[in-house]
Structure 1
């Protein structure tokens, strides 16, 4: 297809009307269309749900994300208006691809206010990761950063080639057949069923998967910004941004994912014209679940007044031993559920807005908040000359490394199996600046949603003997959502921790896929009717233009499924395979999420061959394309690395809760008390490896001056001792950002941090 851009330029040079004029008038028209979106449809989505007994997903989208997606919405709408104008002018259908050159696309991007990749200037010294993931790759600063498009490993498939999902045009045939409605696939194939137990693994494996998926991917949904008359909660028509799911008695509302600005049109003109979806958080395994992905969020989550490098904690409640809880959100009253007695317990605030989705997720967030503050406290004692900023950044660096160690060493091999781990991931060979670490669309939208088939319908809460808790009985899944009060008022995080360690995970089985609580009792985005997670996943895959199951098998080098016999072989259940064939009629039409989910599991894994491939490939690029990966050269000393590998989730549980006995590997299910160890039998990290002597230069020049509303870190990266100053969010640096120790004095006065008044 490389001839297309050449053809474009040839075509444009013969257009009778200057294309620039058309672009500018189309852009002006699109602004009106985007900005006239009704406020009522936005407000309704933010109303708290009247339901108190249904599974709920609540997602907040931050202002930066909305700003970029608005730019993308303007970009896409300009293209549509432009094509309509061209059609009227040339009396025929004209594709954007034949109409526009890459310069024209860049102009539309600029008018729409899409961020331009070439405008990013990376700081010369960056000892620590940026909070947004920007400049991890110095050559291509937006790779892996928050609010950038997810990458495509295969080109998108839209019915109009640009943005209409499969199933958008009623009656449209794919390989000679209509696609089955997702709700039908859900009820007929993904049958709700009680799940058998998987005695090998604990529920913690499932919960850790969800927690870590929130560290690397978040696809924000449309807030109805692109059409003046459409309310997605009431229409059954396909009108952007609504793509409702057909049911036998009407439809379920569905908001399309927000579009993303394509940041580098020079690479692929075709992709620049297609609707892309964004990852609104950083792709890196950087513990952004804890720290956030923007300066504003990070600043809110830090204890800046304490001058101790710690994270902010709840100032109303602690657990019975005085251990901290997460701080509350700043928008009160929050939408979290309440028990009827006593003080309100608001939604907790964390680096990821989904932290209140379920009690086990909130529990893991709480555990890591405490671990950050525990390590910060220890480092402050070991290095008394460190500034609060250095303590915070060094602790954040250690916490990020611990997330990476536990995820790659202890979690991923159990999910994809050790053979796939060797094949797709293999040993670490160092940072590779040519590897794009961004989240792939198929990973976020299909492969990593394998976990939805492992959600247990019951949360057990256990006492110190790992028996059913006498005071806090087990909970239905639907009663664990948006209920932080249950942690504060019902025994802290310990009953939940023991429950997820001491209960076997549900097994994955092709004829028992999703728990009934998520297919029949789901509420999403505060919609007041029952929803279905399986239908939503299938519709989301189509919304994102994901190619079908067979295309991805070929991409992974797996056998192409030609016949029903082939399908029976990979599914391992003839009845399920026959049902899929009957429903889809053509094997190339099978949705990738469904196809990957029904495959026979590989030995020693929780996924079939396709998802093992896609998850393995994603993990490899996340590791190899991360300049700050814990094993990368210069990140940690050999002694520090030797300490980091001693870490385990078990020890982190021991250090930050009242749980006193744990299995060595808490992801493996063990029946208490066999193979449970007392906490003092588990190795712990010796933070003495982070002891840093005051440098002789620091003795000569003395400590650099402290500044108000900002801080500095010391760096010797250039061969000279430097103090690198930065201001907290909302303040602007005035003066020299870097001050060098020369002779026996600092080269310049300390800068000031002035408040932003705009």
Structure 2
């Protein structure tokens, strides 16, 4: 291939598949700059000496088209070239994902072009210096690290930012939404940088080919029946899925087709980025798209491909409130000026309790083809809310709880602004998520002994701890719960017997069916089933039920999928090291022989199957290895997953400046009230259920062990009563602001009203007013509508940390 053909042919692919604009027209100069990367590889030998930073910069930024000042445009949020695919994530996630895909596609084009010209494989580090890599990231509009200076100001002291930015003042992006999952061990890719294990099916790993994930699923994982857990209710499994959605969300590739061939990933059986189909033994395949890559890896992890976490890593109830300013604004009842969340305008339960609001875009997939009976998909702070009825139930409980708290807080503190009511209720709800998870859930999952070993007592906030979710936790360890998915969803009546009006459902009947909540008795039948039905227990020879390995259906797929095969393929997609490496990471004995594996699994027949498939212990996928380990005493995981889950939970706690026990978060009286509260009380407050176990995670057979709700301790909000200050009594409450609000501060020693506008509005006027001499020092500002593009929405400035310029 000639140099000119090399550049024109390869660049045409990136233009048409990743950076398409209007017919033949590039929407930004960045698209033009990226094309020069291909030219550079095609016309000069690809060695670090010739691809110097100066030569690359000359090619990339000396274009006459850059004369109007590209540096300022690189900071703006305009999309890099419009993309024609349908997205299911927040706009800022889409933009950051698009930048990551452009960045990695450009690297692939460079490597492919170099390979075609010089007839050998190259790594990206051979082709680009670190300086040139940073330049490519800039031209791809990859986000830069947040400057710690952004975190200065009193508004970062009292409440969380919605995205998690500035939780750690020195490292603002730690744990924030739309940042890379962290690595506890370096990634393992076949090419060292991005190609998953199994990408080349003929490649040998420790002398043998890797088994197909679908074969592993059918021969080791699939089971036709599950035993019942004698100790725990189904709610334990449901809370695990719910809280996982609070901590991790890995978006898939935005493109649904291979970049070079334009083949649809839903129909192609070839490994062509981003398509990584799951091969079957009959020469067919299941569709699979790779997770979207992060633009640049963190310092120290080289050129390896990393994956995004679209939500904040903290246990912060982001699945109730959202993880972006735009989503939070959409979820709130701003017009009511009540501090509440928005509720469904069409339906409510028979007692007048609210349901979640519907999604804005209708008709939705949940109501498609009449199956929704007029009920669309519900909207919440987390997009997966409609996956199953238990998720909808838990989301509904917390929506109601927030609004219940807001009503009471406003009643006892009538001088509070709507924003203060909202943020205080959000702060309480976040604390309750932390308490229920760490006190009531995690010890049951990993066992009391592992809890003490890996987590231990709380010692206060540690700013040196990075709370970011790890890749192995998100992609393997916390997916242990898939082995507790039951084939039947139980629905019970007021006597905790099967409800004849609303009978039990097969799993498939409960997926993406919010209409069953609205039309079939509300949340109570499902909620009673969650509390009073035994969880499905995992065992080495009884892992995932056939409903999820043989007949799993999702809204955007036309064929049945296999959850076990998806998990195995996702682990390889993410470059997770093997089971043995993670055992070594946790200080556990590595598996060398069949006897070693049989001892860990406690089922020699299962151990034999696994080693027969994988041939070598080092080839075993970490999700499978962790899943088949024998449970530790008093736990529902083996030693590896107990270690990985425990380590992650300790980081989520100790690195969270807003952890409920951290200094200054709550008063001693408030902490005592929070500790009294339980998920049982939340259920009592927000449903028709009148009898409940003290610990709803423990299986209790009705009526034995059930308590009347009047006997379940309740949180008293009297501990939050806040008497008006002298300054407030003298000056009175500031006037309301349309499309904005204020919070009080007294850090300067004087009562100060800090104003800010809601998302999508710009402050005009004084950003603060001080109570002096019985009057406010400034009139309230105005909030005028402003046009925001997607990347603006990802900015850390929210209502709480809004530093708009004073324009008076």
**What TM-score do you get using the length of structure 1 for normalisation?**
0.92
Pairing partner for 1:565 from 591, 595, 601: 595
Q: CA deviation at 1:280?
A: 0.3
Counterpart of 2:25?
none
Counterpart of 2:153?
124
Counterpart of 2:195?
164
- Separation in structure 2 between the aligned mates of residue 246 and residue 38 of structure 1, nearest angstrom: 29
- Separation in structure 1 between the aligned mates of residue 141 and residue 82 of structure 2, nearest angstrom: 19
Counterpart of 2:263?
230
- 2:378–2:386: 8 Å Cα contact kept in structure 1? yes
Counterpart of 2:575?
545
Say whether 1:248 aligns with 2:281: yes
- For 1:150-549, what aligned pairs fall within 5 Å after superposition? 150-224=181-255, 227-228=259-260, 229-249=262-282, 250-262=284-296, 264=298, 267-268=299-300, 271-337=301-367, 344-524=374-554, 526-549=556-579
Counterpart of 1:75?
103
Say whether 1:688 aligns with 2:722: no
Counterpart of 1:669?
699
Residue 670 and residue 14 in structure 1: after superposition, are their counterparts in 2 closer, same or farther (change >3 A)? Answer: closer
Q: CA deviation at 1:199?
A: 1.2
Pairing partner for 1:650 from 680, 690, 702: 680
Residue 99 and residue 354 in structure 1: after superposition, are their counterparts in 2 closer, same or farther (change >3 A)? Answer: same
Residue 14 and residue 356 in structure 1: after superposition, are their counterparts in 2 closer, same or farther (change >3 A)? Answer: closer
**Alignment partner of 1:523: what SS?**
coil
**Alignment partner of 1:380: what SS?**
helix
- Separation in structure 1 between the aligned mates of residue 198 and residue 217 of structure 2, nearest angstrom: 16
Counterpart of 2:123?
95
Counterpart of 1:3?
none
Q: How many residues are treated as equivalent by the alignment?
A: 723
Counterpart of 1:710?
740
Per-residue CA distance 1:729-758 (angstroms, 9 max, x = gap)? 110122332333344443433322111136
Pairing partner for 2:649 from 619, 625, 639: 619
- Separation in structure 2 between the aligned mates of residue 288 and residue 106 of structure 1, nearest angstrom: 32
Q: CA deviation at 1:716?
A: 2.1
- Separation in structure 1 between the aligned mates of residue 773 and residue 124 of structure 2, nearest angstrom: 62
- Separation in structure 1 between the aligned mates of residue 694 and residue 369 of structure 2, nearest angstrom: 36
- Separation in structure 2 between the aligned mates of residue 277 and residue 325 of structure 1, nearest angstrom: 34
Per-residue CA distance 1:590-648 (angstroms, 9 max, x = gap)? 00000000000001001000000000000000001111110000000000000000000
Q: CA deviation at 1:111?
A: 1.2
Counterpart of 1:140?
171
**Alignment partner of 1:714: what SS?**
strand
- Separation in structure 1 between the aligned mates of residue 135 and residue 372 of structure 2, nearest angstrom: 58
Deviates more, 1:149-158 or 1:330-339: 330-339
- Separation in structure 2 between the aligned mates of residue 280 and residue 359 of structure 1, nearest angstrom: 23
Residue 474 and residue 90 in structure 1: after superposition, are their counterparts in 2 closer, same or farther (change >3 A)? Answer: closer
Residue 237 and residue 378 in structure 1: after superposition, are their counterparts in 2 closer, same or farther (change >3 A)? Answer: same
- Separation in structure 2 between the aligned mates of residue 307 and residue 66 of structure 1, nearest angstrom: 31
- Separation in structure 2 between the aligned mates of residue 278 and residue 159 of structure 1, nearest angstrom: 20
- 2:48–2:126: 8 Å Cα contact kept in structure 1? no
Residue 190 and residue 343 in structure 1: after superposition, are their counterparts in 2 closer, same or farther (change >3 A)? Answer: closer
Residue 160 and residue 631 in structure 1: after superposition, are their counterparts in 2 closer, same or farther (change >3 A)? Answer: same
Residue 494 and residue 17 in structure 1: after superposition, are their counterparts in 2 closer, same or farther (change >3 A)? Answer: closer
Residue 100 and residue 743 in structure 1: after superposition, are their counterparts in 2 closer, same or farther (change >3 A)? Answer: farther
The RMSD of aligned alpha carbons is 2.3
- Separation in structure 2 between the aligned mates of residue 539 and residue 36 of structure 1, nearest angstrom: 31
- 1:211–1:364: 8 Å Cα contact kept in structure 2? yes
Residue 86 and residue 252 in structure 1: after superposition, are their counterparts in 2 closer, same or farther (change >3 A)? Answer: closer
Pairing partner for 2:50 from 16, 40, 64: 16
**Alignment partner of 2:343: what SS?**
coil
Q: CA deviation at 1:66?
A: 1.2
Q: Gaps spanning 5+ residues in structure 2: where? A: 1-44, 64-73, 789-808
Pairing partner for 2:133 from 105, 113, 122: 105
Counterpart of 1:726?
756
Per-residue CA distance 1:488-532 (angstroms, 9 max, x = gap)? 111111111111111011111000000110000012352211110
Q: Gaps spanning 5+ residues in structure 1: where? A: 1-10, 47-59
Q: CA deviation at 1:274?
A: 1.4
Q: CA deviation at 1:718?
A: 4.0
Q: CA deviation at 1:465?
A: 1.0
Counterpart of 2:607?
577
Q: CA deviation at 1:101?
A: 3.5
- Separation in structure 2 between the aligned mates of residue 344 and residue 459 of structure 1, nearest angstrom: 23
- Separation in structure 1 between the aligned mates of residue 398 and residue 601 of structure 2, nearest angstrom: 39
- 2:276–2:289: 8 Å Cα contact kept in structure 1? yes
Q: CA deviation at 1:291?
A: 0.5
- 2:541–2:606: 8 Å Cα contact kept in structure 1? yes
Q: CA deviation at 1:331?
A: 0.5
**Alignment partner of 2:653: what SS?**
helix
Q: CA deviation at 1:400?
A: 0.2
- 2:56–2:132: 8 Å Cα contact kept in structure 1? no
**What TM-score do you get using the length of structure 2 for normalisation?**
0.86
Counterpart of 1:6?
none
- 1:177–1:585: 8 Å Cα contact kept in structure 2? yes
**Alignment partner of 1:354: what SS?**
helix
Deviates more, 1:325-334 or 1:76-85: 76-85
**Alignment partner of 2:307: what SS?**
strand
- 2:99–2:142: 8 Å Cα contact kept in structure 1? yes
**Alignment partner of 1:15: what SS?**
coil
- Separation in structure 2 between the aligned mates of residue 73 and residue 338 of structure 1, nearest angstrom: 31
Per-residue CA distance 1:11-67 (angstroms, 9 max, x = gap)? 999713544444676899xx9xx999995xx46xx8xxxxxxxxxxxxx22221111
Residue 553 and residue 718 in structure 1: after superposition, are their counterparts in 2 closer, same or farther (change >3 A)? Answer: farther
- 2:491–2:498: 8 Å Cα contact kept in structure 1? yes
- 2:752–2:768: 8 Å Cα contact kept in structure 1? yes
- 1:461–1:474: 8 Å Cα contact kept in structure 2? yes
- Separation in structure 2 between the aligned mates of residue 352 and residue 717 of structure 1, nearest angstrom: 35
Counterpart of 1:588?
618
- 1:36–1:227: 8 Å Cα contact kept in structure 2? no
Counterpart of 1:115?
143
- 1:202–1:505: 8 Å Cα contact kept in structure 2? yes
- 2:232–2:699: 8 Å Cα contact kept in structure 1? yes
- Separation in structure 2 between the aligned mates of residue 526 and residue 414 of structure 1, nearest angstrom: 35
- Separation in structure 2 between the aligned mates of residue 12 and residue 224 of structure 1, nearest angstrom: 29
- Separation in structure 2 between the aligned mates of residue 438 and residue 24 of structure 1, nearest angstrom: 37
Per-residue CA distance 1:278-318 (angstroms, 9 max, x = gap)? 11011011111110111111111101111110000111111
Q: CA deviation at 1:112?
A: 1.1
**Alignment partner of 1:693: what SS?**
coil
